[in-house]
Amino acid sequence: MAGNSHGNTLAAWTGVTICFIGFCIAGLFTVAAQPVGFVVGLVVAVAGGVVGLLMKAMGFGQPKEARSHATGEPQEQSS
């Protein structure tokens, strides 16, 4: 486990942080019995996933070579 970089990217940290904030908002408004705030929290949580995927597409995620190395998949040989 120590030899891989599972999730240690800017895209992963940003997406998870935004999702965490969204779940905290939703939880707060659940206790306060405010359905509109709850839905806003869920929207923020979903937006965190979208932001993470967009950042990954922009190159802030784990490179493809590192993903295949971490999962044990065979790597392509370049000539």
What is the tens place of the pLDDT at every residue in 42-58?
Answer: 999 999 999 988 988 88
Quote the CA–CA distance of 56 and 61 in Å, as a whole number: 4
Average pLDDT, the chain: 81
The domains of the chain are located at 14-61
> Token pair for residue 26?
């939703």
Q: Is the pLDDT of residue 75 over 90?
A: no
pTM of the model: 0.71
Could you tell me if 37 and 29 are in contact, meaning their C-beta atoms sit under 8 angstroms apart?
yes
Quote the CA–CA distance of 22 and 45 in Å, as a whole number: 4
Tell which residue, 51, 44, 11, has the closest CA to residue 27. Answer: 44
